[in-house]
A and B are shown apart, each in its own frame.
Chain A
Amino acid sequence: MAGAYGGTGEPVTHPTRSDVVVVRRGEVVVKAHSVRDDPDLLRMRLRAANAPALTGLLLTSLDPEVRTVGDRAVTVWPTGVPVGRDDPDAAPWEEGARLLARLHAVPLTMMPPLPEAAGPARMARAVEAMPGHGAAQRTVRRAYAALPDPEPVPRLLTHGDWHLGQLVRRGDRWLLIDVDDLGTGDPAWDLARPAAWFAAGLLEPELWSRFLDSYLASGGPALDPADPWARLDLPARALTVQLAAVAIGHAEAEERELDEVEQSLIQSCGRIVGLRQG
């Protein structure tokens, strides 16, 4: 299929979540989406990604339509250079934050209709899918149950699943990729994964500051610059629960104990549970 869009050379399958297949051939990337994803929602999201208001923010697809191969929805994209995986200090934290700030600032009136951003649903799914009933699982489930109801906030354009793997470089500019969770929602969720890493003591304060300062300096509308944690706290708790649930799933699948990094997420969940009781 990549060949039909001008891709040449040997097809390379990229490692990704088990239910998504990404194949690159030369300059063309073909993504087979999760069977779980609703093709109608995917169609809305792809249309939004290709809207003129997002040019220079979100990668534009090579084919404006969602295709079907077998029972899978498929989208076709140009290749980009991903973030180098060996040195978090060298990662484009500032660029990522700037892109998110600009994405969140796009008026919804300039966008075609969009479904809800899927961050909260993804979190709930991660907890539901978490295997086992040990002490760690109990802590994660209690932290999940202790999450307060979200305060009503203005709904803005939100990526829905941001991490460093969601950036690619095309020429001299970085762009966001992955439309699977794109929609309207609380944009603070896009900042919540790095916030959760920082709160777990995993992400160095310097890197967290580079990211957060850049978001605030770019006028990112998700946070109050005088008190960024006011809006970050709840989504960061939710992402901590999600990351811990996913980590437990990985450890169970690999039949091993939780490593130190994964343990620190469970400890974060423990402190979240403690807040509620304290």
Chain B
Amino acid sequence: MQCPKCRGSMRTYERNGVHIEQCENCRGIFLDYGELETLTRMESQYHTPPAAPPAHGAPAHGAPAWGAPAPHYGGGHYGHRRKKDSFLGMLFSS
């Protein structure tokens, strides 16, 4: 592809899923349809502080400073039988 401005040859780059044609002669940049919007959106995300944790989905909401570092879930499919039974009892008693 030729540069529409100086007729130099253009080279295609891909940055974060956006195709960018740049002229090797005048360094001018050519964007396909919709790509300017994509770049604008990416820029605004870059400047916005990270959103609050999502209201749904795990793991959300964090954990306390004293939380277990390597969880070993007694209630799920991971624990062996004795352990699972012990935790199940705890789920239902005061």
Contacts and interface: CB of A to CB of B under 8 A. Distances in A.
Interface of A: 17, 83, 85-86, 88-89, 91, 122, 161, 163-165, 195, 197-209, 212-213, 216-217, 225-229, 232-233, 236-237, 243, 246-247, 259-262, 264, 267-268, 271-272, 274-275
Nearest to A232: B64
B1 interface: no
- Chain B CB count within 10 A is highest, among A195, A203, A243, for A203
Contacts of B92: 83, 85, 163-165
A247 to B, nearest CB: 8
Contacts of B66: 199, 237, 268, 271-272, 274-275
A217 B61 CA distance: 13
List of 4 A-B pairs having minimum Cβ-Cβ separation, nearest first: A201-B68, A201-B71, A165-B92, A209-B58
Given A86-B88, A88-B88, A261 B64 contact: no
Given A163-B94, A165-B92, A198 B63 contact: yes
Interface string B59-72: 11111111110111
Contacts of B74: 202, 260-261, 264
A214 to B, nearest CB: 10
15 contacts: A85-B92, A164-B91, A195-B64, A199-B64, A201-B71, A201-B72, A205-B71, A206-B58, A209-B58, A209-B61, A217-B55, A229-B61, A260-B74, A260-B83, A268-B68
A262 B85 CA distance: 12
Nearest to B60: A209
B73 A203 contact: yes
Interface residues of B, number: 33
Contacts, number: 123
A229 B58 contact: no
Given A163-B91, A274-B66, A88 B76 contact: yes
Contacts of A225: 52, 55
A243 B91 CA distance: 11
Interface of B: 52, 55-68, 70-76, 79, 82-83, 86-88, 90-94
B68 A199 contact: yes
- Chain A CB count within 10 A is highest, among B61, B82, B88, for B61
A204 B72 contact: no
Contact of B90 (A217, A237, A261, A275): A261
Given A202-B90, A228-B61, A247-B90, 4 more contacts: A85-B88, A88-B88, A209-B56, A213-B56
A219 to B, nearest CB: 12
